[in-house]
Structure 1
Amino acid sequence: MSEKGTISKFIENYYLHFNAAALVDAAKAYEMQLNNGSKMLISLAGAMSTAEIGKIFAEVIRQDKVHIISCTGANLEEDIMNLVAHSHYKRLPNYRDLTPEDEWELLLKGLNRVTDTCIPEDEAFRRLQKHIFAIWKKAEDEGERYFPHEFMYKLLLSGVLEEYYEIDVKNSWMYAAAEANLPIVVPGWEDSTMGNIFASYVLKGDLKASTMKSGIEYMTFLADWYSDNSENGIGFFQIGGGIAGDFPICVVPMLYQDMERTETPFWSYFCQISDSTTSYGSYSGAVPNEKITWGKLGIDTPKFIIESDATIVAPLIFAYLLNM
């Protein structure tokens, strides 16, 4: 095993109790899964791409420490938006003080706010729109259909965006994923800017809805991938909650309950970074043991929950995996 670096040694020495200890335990168990030959799924919810998780997550992909990703449509596209429009983003550290009038002014300037960061509409959304539409249209004209992430891979690998790059491409997790042709599932992709734009073309009659493969097709793809890769176990590392995590985790009970493939193994590891609270009835805040009752995790599955901010926790765990 490679020597651990300064960051890894720091958290081992000082992260000793409560959520800090859970972080270290989860990171070590993740590493053990990889050492035992297990695959790992990482789910990305929230605005992790806009939080620039790509600066470290891209290296996790390159070093083969994740084997499939489930993410929201927003995370799929916002990493690419940051790649091509980074200098046009605006940070608002005083976002808590904004009035409705301040927010309206941001709208008029084409700045769509995500907490303390504004995404520039013209340089991000519209810059991608003309190029991705051409790829969608070409596929349709040739009678081809693809998943949302496959269209994004085509966009990145075509080279048409290179003139717009504003950050080092090695800091784009989507570019790293495209180069590796990493499997991705994007449940609820329609709930994203590019999803909305695609729907607008369908409404105008410029594209057919069937050109984009559906969520059901994502689930059937995931079912086949899980079945083909579970010989040594597949772990589940969930960043945030929501559909990015809820969608893929249920492939296991679907396989052995609905498909009656009784040999299907449970997820071999589970960790969630979450600030959601169980008492509100939120599935995102449910403790891992609740997932046993749904046939997703086994009694002996290593289970971790880190109740903290994913923008703080995830980079530290990734740094540990990368021996930083």
Structure 2
Amino acid sequence: MSEFVHHHYRHFNAAALIDAADAYVRHVEDGGVMFMTLAGAMSTAELGLSLAEMIRQGKVHAICCTGANLEEDMFNLVAHDHYVRVPNYRELTADDEEALLARHLNRVTDTCIPEEEAIRRIEDVILEVWQAADQAGEAYFPHEFMYQVLRSGKLDKFHQIDPTDSWLVAACEANLPIIVPGWEDSTLGNIYASHCINGDIGNVHTVKGGIQYMMMLAEWYEQTAKMSSIGFFQIGGGIAGDFPICVVPMLEQDLLKTDTPRWGYFCQISDSTTSYGSYSGAVPNEKITWGKLSADTPKFIIESDATIVAPLVFACVLGQ
């Protein structure tokens, strides 16, 4: 695969893919670490098929993702055989969508997540760890609760894919730091709120939130930057990218730690049109003015569909 893309991908966005992948390899080979962000619905697009191996081979060292990407990799792990693909999704009428809802199928583009087999199955197990922490007066991050569920083995009998194809399983095995800003904006976040409302969970702060995540990220960045240059590989835009990249100007400008190194590599896979005032559509150079990147930071933007591009970049980085 790597030989194929290096031979054929010579110009325009194709060339940007190769340049970004080659620079990724150089960054890691030179002792750098890579921070990766996941927006969109990349877990439902089964990014774990390629991302899990990246984690296992030490090519990814921390992740920031939406709450949806965190949970949907686990949904896929236990309910894959019950997912329904809708290849003609562009032709669906409003009545067709109502029919999917009646079957408890929640559509993500061409793929429907089955509510009972995926969402409710996870709810039953994760509620136990939420309540155990609540009763013990303890608090954990959303990803830590997911790690607890995976390590408990209570989902093992429900696995419907090879666990080696789950990026969350790989991250759990590596005890990878995961940042999940805005976790409340997810299915499990909504479910957690419902259990707080009905009294199943007494302390709403049993699950830690975004400010605590930023504090955790600041500590990780400071400690890691003492030893290695930290790269930033961004898939999509939104909060998964904007939240963590701001840790550098926060450390430098708000905490006045003027020796804070900026991100040492930057690449974004984006299908957003370059636009005015849009973070997702901002070109990398704009980040220099915010103290996130430096003039000499290797900077790349691949304007394409991440479901196509990301596995190709990963294949190049892995030498496949």
* Fold agreement, TM-score > 0.5: yes
Could you tell me how far apart the structure 1 residues matched to 2:17 and 2:275 are? 23
Matched, 1:168 2:159: no
Q: Distance between the aligned counterparts of 1:179 and 1:229, measured in 2?
A: 20
Aligned counterparts of 1:205 and 1:164: Cα–Cα separation in 2: 29
Report the alpha carbon displacement of residue 278 of structure 1 after superposing the two structures with TM.
2.2
Instruction: Name the structure 1 match of 2:293.
Output: 297
TM-score normalised by structure 2 residue count: 0.98
1:203 corresponds to 2:206: no
Q: CA-atom RMSD, angstroms?
A: 0.7
Match for residue 218 of structure 1?
213
Question: Where do 1:136-285 residues align within 5 Å?
Answer: 136-207=130-201, 208-231=203-226, 232-285=228-281
What SS does structure 2 have at the residue aligned with 1:46? Answer: coil
- Using the alignment, how far apart are the partners of 1:120 and 1:85 within structure 2? 7
- C-alpha separation in 1, matches of 2:25 and 2:155: 35
- The Cα shift of 1:279 comes to 2.2
Q: Aligned to 1:43, what secondary structure does the other structure show?
A: strand
Q: Deviations over 1:247-281 (max 9, x none)?
A: 00000000000000000001000000001112253
More displaced stretch, 201-210 vs 188-197: 201-210
Residue 18 of structure 1 pairs with residue 17 of structure 2: no
Q: Which amino acid aligns with 1:69?
A: I
Q: Is the 8 A contact 2:142 2:208 kept in 1?
A: yes
Counterpart residue type for residue 229 of structure 1:
T
1:173-221 Cα distance to aligned partner (Å, 9 max, x none): 1011111110000000000000000000111122121101110000000
TM, length-normalised to structure 1: 0.97
| Aligned equivalent of 1:124, options 95, 118, 127 | 118
CA distance in 2, matches of 1:67, 1:258: 26
1:307 aligns with 2:313: no
How many residue pairs are counted as aligned between the two chains? 318
The answer (yes or no) to whether the contact 1:39–1:230 under 8 Å persists in 2 is no
Point out where structure 2 has 5 or more consecutive residues left out of the alignment: none
SS state at 1:304 partner: strand
Q: What CA distance in whole angstroms lies between the structure 2 residues aligned with 1:318 and 1:181?
A: 21
* Alpha-carbon distance in 2 for matches of 1:14, 1:320: 13
Contact 1:79–1:174, Cα closer than 8 Å, also in 2? yes
Task: Note the residue ranges of structure 1 that are not aligned, 5 or more in a row.
Answer: 1-6
Matches of 1:111 and 1:31, distance apart in 2: 40
The one of 103, 124, 136 equivalent to 2:97 is: 103
- Give aligned-pair identity as a percent: 66
CA distance in 1, matches of 2:150, 2:71: 11
- Give me the whole-angstrom Cα distance separating, in 1, the residues matched to 2:49 and 2:312: 12
CA-to-partner distance for each residue in 1:51-108, whole Å, 9 max, x for gaps?
A: 0000111010000101000000000000010010001000000000000000000000
